[in-house]
């Protein structure tokens, strides 16, 4: 980059940060250790979802009691996947249908509400959910289902700016929590089932103006300061013909930030269409021609310029809808090495080197995986090609290709629901599901704004007595230290604390605290609706609080097939439940 341009950008960034009141870059950097606030999605931009608080612990968690509950009200419910944020005496949550609420932290009373007023014709893949917001300066930022990003005033909820990420009429949407880094609002996009192109965008937090864009699919051009920068990858290096123009790779879960290496890490979803035979990926080809980069990958990005530093593709030649978007969590292993961990939709738990994203190890975290025999020394799958759905057959009814039964299902060994890492135990707590699918390929052609799958599927449970499985996993060895089995699929986030606790919720509505070392259930509370939200904890007036959103929905009721029928009795809802450990009970046995 030109030195003058770089100096100008840095000067603008510094001036913008200095002019911002309220939350600073330093505050975001220290979010995990600051126990009175929760400023970021993931309780820290490394997404460990770990709190150093120890007021609440294994001995006294049984004394955790409700403090207040807040209803999202109205008829707009469906899935509530948001993670609350806490700042300056207020809680901020996003709700289904692109709504935001500010709640008084002491009373649970609504202070303001914002409704995005969505247009007709939005095309969300997997429910009308929203996964959270971001705070910087005196603004709060969140995205909408019609693929926009907004900045609202923290105190009043009034719109500061409202910018378009992409065209919702083409199938784009946005559901993730934005990420703030050095005065930039960084967003991804959703819509991988519609033949869109995954992209990461960075905007000036004060004005909303674009600084850079980085497409995830080879052949597409990035931009910097309003001009074309570099092409992603090499044109047609791993894609046939013009398929890179509709290649998928949606960045629909957002990203993390590693301050040690000054790197954004975003995941890219499935290549489009699902039918791998149309992408020269159905059978092994020379070199990596059929890999379809950078779909199904984790990508390290320079936050200043949007240039790609490194990539790691979890599922080259992807053909089962094994998105590569799952969160990348920075941690330090038992030998003091700085690593990343990510539990992929394909059923394998990967450890990567933080300096360059290189492969370190991979271990299965769900049972009976059959699409691959394992992962080789370079991190590439060792395929079971007989478990790849067959090419469309012109002679078959409807052109249907050979059907196979593949494990895990397309909803993944782990889907979007975030895992947690405990710095004391050194374990990851991974919410997973044990299921497979009948899957087959069909003919398909691209049409703007229409579904672009080229596949059919039916999800089936693997075991009669459970589907959901919360696993405590050692990232160094891949050993599962303990497992909690749940009848319905797990679809909510996990949080861990220095007090030796692990919190998560179930679709049956139960909010649970486990012993982080043993998996023993120590406390639970019935919230009245399925939990697909993300728990948080903070300290207030010397007492420790825990909060989670309750409201059944998400992808399982929409896409789950036989599994969806199994849990169709579950009620929708829209509540924030907040609990506290009263001071007088903190030392009670």
User: Is 321 known to be catalytic?
Assistant: yes
Residue 15 confidence (pLDDT)? 40
Q: What is the pLDDT of residues 476-491, one digit of tens each?
A: 999 999 999 999 999 9
* Count of domains for the chain: 1
- 300: tokens are 């390290």
Q: What is the pLDDT of residues 325-346, one digit of tens each?
A: 999 999 999 999 999 999 999 9
The closest of 274, 318, 217 to 444, measured between CA atoms, is 274
Measured CA to CA, the distance from residue 347 to residue 558 in angstroms comes to 22
Measured CA to CA, the distance from residue 329 to residue 341 in angstroms comes to 5
- Ligand-binding annotation for 416, yes or no, is yes
Site of tokens 């303990």: 482
- Ligand-binding annotation for 415, yes or no, is yes
Q: What is the pLDDT of residues 228-265, one digit of tens each?
A: 999 999 999 999 999 999 999 999 999 999 999 999 99
- Ligand-binding annotation for 228, yes or no, is no
Outline where 175-215 has alpha helix (H).
Answer: none
Does residue 349 lie in a domain region? no
Report the chain's C-alpha Rg in angstroms.
22
Does residue 283 lie in a domain region? yes
Q: Is the pLDDT of residue 125 over 90?
A: no
| CB environment 60-72: b (16+ within 10 A), e (fewer) | bbebbeebbebeb
- Ligand-binding annotation for 321, yes or no, is yes
- Give me the domain span that covers residue 223: 25-328+483-554+564-585
Contact (CB, 8 A) for 415 and 325: no
- 415: tokens are 């889907």
Q: What is the pLDDT of residues 380-413, one digit of tens each?
A: 999 999 999 999 988 888 889 999 999 999 999 9
Contact (CB, 8 A) for 482 and 473: no
Task: Indicate which residue of 127, 291, 321, 323 is catalytic.
Answer: 321
Which residues 6+ apart lie within 8 Å of 165 measured at CB?
143, 147, 148, 149, 172, 174, 187, 189, 201
Residue 287 confidence (pLDDT)? 64
Does residue 366 lie in a domain region? no
The sign of the torsion formed by the CA atoms of 580, 585, 588, 589 equals negative
- 372: tokens are 């691959």
CB atoms within 10 A of CB 22: 15
CB atoms within 10 A of CB 568: 9
Does residue 430 lie in a domain region? no
Q: pTM of the full predicted structure?
A: 0.94
Q: What is the pLDDT of residues 82-95, one digit of tens each?
A: 999 999 999 999 99
Residue 398 confidence (pLDDT)? 83
Does residue 364 lie in a domain region? no
Does residue 440 lie in a domain region? no
Does residue 392 lie in a domain region? no
- Which CATH number fits the domain that encloses residue 320? 2.140.10.10
The counts of H helices and E strands in the chain are 4, 40
Please provide the average confidence, as pLDDT, over all residues in the chain.
92
Does residue 472 lie in a domain region? no
């Amino acid at each position: 980059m030109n030195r003058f341009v770089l100096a100008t950008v840095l000067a603008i960034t510094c001036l913008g940060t200095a002019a911002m009141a309220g939350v600073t870059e330093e505050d975001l950097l220290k979010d995990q250790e600051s126990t009175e606030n929760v400023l970021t999605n993931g309780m820290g931009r490394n997404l460990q979802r770990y709190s150093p608080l120890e007021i609440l612990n294994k001995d006294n968690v049984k004394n955790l009691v409700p403090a207040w509950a807040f209803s999202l009200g109205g008829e707009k419910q469906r899935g509530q996947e948001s993670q609350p944020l806490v700042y300056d005496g207020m809680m901020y949550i996003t709700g289904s249908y692109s709504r935001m609420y500010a709640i008084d932290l002491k009373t649970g009373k609504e202070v303001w509400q914002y409704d995005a007023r969505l247009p007709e014709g939005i095309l969300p893949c997997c429910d009308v959910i929203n996964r959270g917001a971001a705070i910087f300066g005196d603004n709060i930022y969140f995205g909408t289902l019609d693929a926009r990003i907004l900045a609202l005033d923290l105190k009043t909820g009034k719109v500061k700016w409202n910018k378009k990420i992409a065209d919702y009429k083409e199938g784009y949407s946005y559901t993730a929590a934005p990420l703030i880094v050095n005065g930039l609002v960084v967003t991804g996009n959703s819509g991988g089932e519609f033949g869109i192109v995954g992209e990461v965008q960075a905007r000036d937090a004060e004005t909303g103006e674009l600084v850079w864009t980085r497409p995830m699919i080879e052949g597409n051009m990035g931009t910097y300061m309003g001009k074309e920068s570099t092409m992603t990858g090499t044109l047609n290096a791993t894609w046939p013909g013009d398929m890179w123009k509709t290649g998928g790779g949606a960045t629909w879960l957002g990203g993390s930030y590693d301050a040690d290496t000054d790197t954004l890490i975003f995941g890219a979803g499935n290549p489009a269409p699902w039918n791998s035979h149309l992408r020269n990926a159905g059978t092994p080809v020379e070199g990596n021609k059929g890999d379809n980069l950078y779909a199904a990958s984790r990508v390290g990005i320079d936050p200043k310029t949007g240039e790609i530093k490194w990539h790691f593709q979890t599922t080259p030649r992807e053909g089962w809808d094994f998105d590569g978007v799952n969160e990348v969590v920075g941690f330090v292993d038992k030998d003091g090495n700085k690593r990343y961990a990510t539990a992929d939709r394909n059923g394998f738990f990967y450890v990567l080197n933080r300096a360059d994203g290189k492969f370190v190890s991979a271990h299965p975290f769900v049972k009976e995986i059959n699409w691959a025999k394992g992962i080789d020394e370079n991190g590439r799958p060792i395929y079971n090609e007989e478990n790849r759905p067959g090419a469309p057959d012109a002679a078959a009814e409807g052109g249907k290709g050979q059907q196979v039964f593949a494990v895990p299902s397309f909803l993944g060994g782990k889907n979007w629901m975030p895992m947690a890492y405990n710095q004391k135990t050194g374990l990851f707590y991974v919410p997973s599901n044990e299921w497979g699918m009948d899957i087959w390929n069909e003919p398909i052609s691209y049409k703007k704004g229409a579904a672009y799958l080229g596949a059919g599927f039916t999800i089936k449970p693997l075991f009669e007595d459970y589907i959901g499985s919360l696993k405590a996993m050692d990232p160094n060895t891949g050993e599962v230290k303990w497992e909690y089995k749940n009848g319905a699929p797990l679809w909510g986030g996990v949080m861990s604390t220095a007090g030796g606790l692990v919190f998560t919720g179930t679709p049956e509505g139960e909010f649970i605290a486990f012993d982080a070392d043993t998996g023993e259930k120590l406390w639970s509370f019935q919230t009245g609706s399925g939990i697909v939200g993300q728990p948080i904890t903070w300290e207030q007036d010397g007492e420790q609080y825990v909060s989670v959103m309750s409201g059944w929905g998400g992808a399982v009721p929409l896409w789950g097939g036989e599994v969806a029928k199994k849990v169709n009795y579950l009620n929708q809802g829209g509540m924030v439940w907040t609990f506290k450990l009263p001071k007088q009970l903190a030392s009670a046995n």
